[in-house]
Amino acid sequence: MSGKQQNIRLFLYTDVFLLGFTLIGAQIILIREFLLFYNGNELVIGLLFTIWMLLTAIGSWAGRFFNVRSDYPKLIRGVLVLLTVYPIIAIFCIEYFRNDIFEYGRMASLYEIIVYSFLVLLPICVSGGFLFTVLNNSLGKGAGRLHNCYAVESFGSLVGGIVISLYFIYILEVDNFRSLTYLLLINFVYFGITDFRQGKQARSFIFLIAAIGFMFLIYKTNPGRIAKENFFDGQELLMTKETPFGNLSITRTNGQINYYENGVILFSDGNVVQREEDVHYALLQKPDAKNVLLIGGGITGTISEILKYPSIENITYIDINPEIVLLTAEYIDKTTKEISNTIIKTYALDPVFFIAKTKKSFDVILINLPSPVNAQLNRYFTLEFYQKLKRIIRYNGLVSTRLSSSANYLNEHEVKLQASIFNSISRVFEHILIVPAGKNYFIASDQILTHDYVNRFLAFKPDNTYVNSDYLNDDLIRFRADKLLESYAGINTVNYDFKPIVYLSYIRHWMSFYGNSYWIIPLLCILVVIVFILFSKPFSSAMFASGFTGAGTEIVLLIVFQILVGYVYLFLGVIITIFMAGLMIGAFLSRNINKEKTNKLTILTQLLSGVCIAGISVSLIFLKDVHTGSIIQFIVSIFMLIISGLVGYQYGLSVTGSKADRGKVVSVVYSADLAGSAVGSLLVAILIIPVLGIYLTLYCLAGLHFLTVLFYLFKHKIKYL
């Protein structure tokens, strides 16, 4: 091989590395941005993985028909420039035009999300998949080079994930827009350097000038803030910040301060009725309370309501996003005074971890959080959470939680959602008092509770504006509470950490707004799995199964992490990066496999994958009792590395063992991998986890590997084992 050919191959491998580096950065940032766009619903992660994989598979398949010509370097460079610039334009448009695409204040339907996400991701995913196949074919048709290309692309993804998720997001704490801007700067500098080394000084100069121009334009105009201001149309954007738990934004409307996390309104400071109801329905049941734990909403004036009770000696305030307490005092003078009060203690800790570790005990616990519309919020409405609360409640103490509700009517899905939470509380506390008001309040205790609010108010007479003897109507409250209890009759479901039945109820409730049939998409996915396993070629079916379970396990572990720790928004980039690291290691280890051993090794890999996934399910039983975020993060990372390593190893086996022409084998195997990943992501997210829970989902994924082995043996008509 001549020196010129070696240089060309070196530049091609560098382009493969840059492809992985750029795509992983764009994927991490776009998924984070879509979480904001779709109100933090973790279902979106599965949908986006699905769309990403399907479109990339289409691009990879299309690349097999491209004949490598002498001008292919221009094509490669053009596609890489597109992949670098397009994500910046995309995230600006996602936020800026959100209210032009969807009516302000209305949540998008499932099919609107699919179509909109499909259109946004189409250019980058198809181009990326297409370029991967072109680069493979450009490097030659040797099996070793196909393995190397996959490993180098995965290594680029690993480095990109580390740079984006660990350095830009975690260490520098920059927002999504600036992260992509830094990514553009890195790529354009690389383009300039490589062009200069190839004697293309004019083009090199253009890229360097463009990089400087982009940086100047972005820092001068701050398009990220412009997009956010239009996202919160009609409100003054006071502050926006990326936090480990999500994007935190503070706005002002006619003097009222509003707090949003991932586009979901957490609370507002001017709602006097709600803050009085949040406190007094509970504390009027126990006006002699001394120690109160407040979870959420403390900066809206709730603390001042608690302080109306002279017996209060200590208020402990924590929030689902610790950054809220640290940031909001700047905007509300009253809050600053309240938090500085000597009897008020604030903790910048995750509430679940605080409750598990604290040695304090409380007379009253007030949980003033939004309804469980995602896995992050669901963790505060489960049986396990209420059991933890029971440990720190004093004798005859009480817990108050709330759910959003229609004034006089609940549809079927809302009833199931609320009944599941009611049942979860009733498993822990002897008595539950339902107080239907602006929200439905569930007040739980081991002492008897009554709706005698008028007499309780007159006996104590807190200085309230709304919740007073004129506002309260015991008979009406009791009547509406009885109606709710009647609607809960016959519903026995319980909401668990690892079987979030409320998650499924929310999905169905969400889809019911638009008359969408929940079962259409899952049934189509199941059909695809059956067809692929039964009728595809043996190595393709094995690759499909590995892609399916690899992506499915990734979704499971992301949701497990969200359930246990709560900041998957930060950890998302890390888990994707680790997944790519495993793919790289697996592909590297499979480079020199003898073709004659591929059948045996494929069977062993499928069996080992099934055993490992089943083992993860068993391990989660013990992981639930760990209350240190760094330890959970480490263990989840190891799980992901093992599973993705087996997926990468199966890719190498499929490439080596496939009988297809070497020019087409990459597109065939890579497309099978991506198709399996797409279907696995979607099916696990919207059906298997909500219906079966975390444990059985993992057992189902393990079972798919064992089933694949049976069909693999049947297709080869061999007797092995």
Residue 183: its H or E element: helix 176-197
pLDDT at 336: 45
* CA 227 vs CA 92, 125, 222, 231: distances in Å: 6, 24, 9, 6
* CA 88 vs CA 22, 162, 223, 520, 527: distances in Å: 12, 19, 10, 34, 37
pLDDT at 719: 42
pLDDT at 337: 54
Burial class (CB in 10 A: 0-12, 13-18, 19+), 197: exposed
**Is the Cβ–Cβ distance between 546 and 646 less than 8 Å?**
yes
The pLDDT tens digits for 562-574 are 888 888 877 888 8
> What are the boundaries of each domain within the chain?
3-222+519-716, 270-497
| Rounded Cα gap, residues 296 and 282, in angstroms | 15
pLDDT at 300: 78
Residues of the chain with pLDDT under 70: 1-8, 39-40, 67-72, 104-107, 140-147, 327-341, 406-409, 504, 507-520, 533, 535, 658-667, 715-721
CATH top class, domain 3-222+519-716: mainly alpha
SS (H, E, C) 466-513: CCCCCCCCHHHHHHHHHHHHHHHCCCCCCCCCCCCHHHHHHHHHHHHC
Q: Thinking of the domain 270-497, which architecture would CATH place it in?
A: 3-Layer(aba) Sandwich (3.40)
The pLDDT tens digits for 154-172 are 888 888 888 888 788 877 7
Eight-state DSSP code of residue 611: H
The answer to whether the 3-222+519-716 and 270-497 domains have the same CATH topology is: no
